[in-house]
Amino acid sequence: MATEMPQRIPSGGVDLSHLAQRGAAAPAGPAGQAPSGAQSPGAPQTVDVPSLVLDVTDAAFGQIAPLSAVVPIVFDLWAEWSEPSKALSPLLEKVTRELDGRVLLARVDVDANPGLAQAFQAQSIPTVVAMIGERPVPLFQGPVPEQEVREFFVRLIQLAEENGVAGRVNAPAGDGSEAPGPVEPQIPEAHIAAFEAAERGDFETAVREWEAVLQKSPADADAKAALAQSKLLLRLQGHTLEDIRAEAAANPADLEAQMRVADLDLSGGHIEDSFLRLLDLFAGADDDTRTVIRNRLLELFEVVGVADPRVIAARGKLASLLY
């Protein structure tokens, strides 16, 4: 008996029709180049694509989605400011290339493509969602070890075959498909223990390791940003979206509950909402509470990146409230 595919991902439905309609009328650019060689339904199809790994935009989604009737498409919803994204994306690409055209990977920058982020209802970054026959299939959120990524992909291919999606896609040899895998970024030796702890989801250990790095090298900007990221993920660990929002609604005077919603918003890519919530709390707080809120804001600034325009704007608002 075929495995039933979920029609909804956690926390609600997914309506992608508006993106598909808009994308169908848009001309394809190099990264979203339309596939060639599509065949009529029946026997397993083989379709030519520019690459096994595509950067997909809101506008190009309508050109990519039909390929999910040939092979499963895995959507990697990532962000530049997300340290777990930087760890996970190379793993997704490596496993995709090893599967020799049985899966297509679509990378979505959520900051540049809010339509897809909203449509897939990404509650945290990274979020990984698949599509089979233009229907969404939830996979996972957050960092996942390489072996678990492989297991997810194997189950996804099995699910696709059970639902009549058993084709392949062919990419030009020069797109990197024959390479043993993407080149992993070099990690400074002092960062390895913290990085490995974060990669396996042990954020408590990661925080301790990053703090140890900063004790020896206080000017290490990468370590400072990674520490803030690990603290954020540790605060959210073990909490669900519904629990966080319900607790904040039931306890409007609970500072930690309110700040955790700001953490949740930022982790889901709603950066301005996160900053505005903390700035509103700051405006109505006494001096001691203001110190706590200010420290949390400064941490979140590090997570996003101090040069980000949204951080610069929020820092200006904070300064105006201070003086």
117-127 confidence digits (pLDDT tens):
888 878 888 99
User: Exposed, middle or buried by CB within 10 Å (0-12, 13-18, 19+), for 260?
Assistant: buried
* pLDDT above 60 (res 183): no
Indicate if the pLDDT at residue 273 is higher than 70. Answer: yes
What share of residues in the chain are helix, strand, coil (percent, to 5)?
50, 10, 35
Instruction: Evaluate whether 17-175 and 240-323 have a shared fold.
Output: no
Pairing of strands 135-141, 168-170: unpaired
Token pair belonging to 133: 């026959």
- Report the candidate in 172, 297, 147, 156 with the shortest Cα–Cα distance to residue 228: 297
- In total, the chain counts a number of residues equal to 323
The Cα 306–Cα 304 span in angstroms is: 7
Distance CA 210, CA 222 (A): 10
Nearest to 311 by CA among 282, 284, 285, 276: 276
**Pairing between β-strand 73-78 and β-strand 104-109 as defined by DSSP bridges:** parallel
Rounded CA-CA distance 103/171 in Å is 12
Where does the pLDDT of residue 175 fall: very low under 50, low under 70, confident under 90, or very high at 90 and above? Answer: low
Domain 17-175: give its CATH code: 3.40.30.10
Is 155 exposed, middle or buried (CB count within 10 Å of its CB: 0-12, 13-18, 19+)?
Answer: middle
How confident is the prediction for the chain on average, in pLDDT? 81
Of 65-79, 110-124, 153-167, least confident by mean pLDDT is 110-124
Ranges of each domain in the chain? 17-175, 186-238, 240-323
Q: For the structural domain made of 240-323, what CATH number should be given?
A: 1.25.40
Q: 53 phi and psi, to 5 degrees? A: -125, 115
Contact in structure between 280 and 321 (CB atoms under 8 Å): no
Query: Above 60 in pLDDT, residue 8?
Result: no
Residue 310 has pLDDT above 90, yes or no: no
Confidence class for position 244, pLDDT limits 50, 70, 90: very high
- Inform me whether the pLDDT recorded for 24 exceeds 50: no
pLDDT at position 298 is 92
Long-range contacts of 110-114 (CB under 8 A, 24+ apart): 110/77, 110/78, 110/79, 110/269, 111/79, 111/80, 111/81, 111/269, 112/57, 113/56, 113/57, 113/58, 114/58, 114/269
Tokens 């962000």 locate to 79
Q: pLDDT value at position 278?
A: 95
| 254 φ, ψ (degrees, to nearest 5) | -85, 105
Which of 36-40, 158-162, 168-172, 282-286 is the least confident region? 36-40
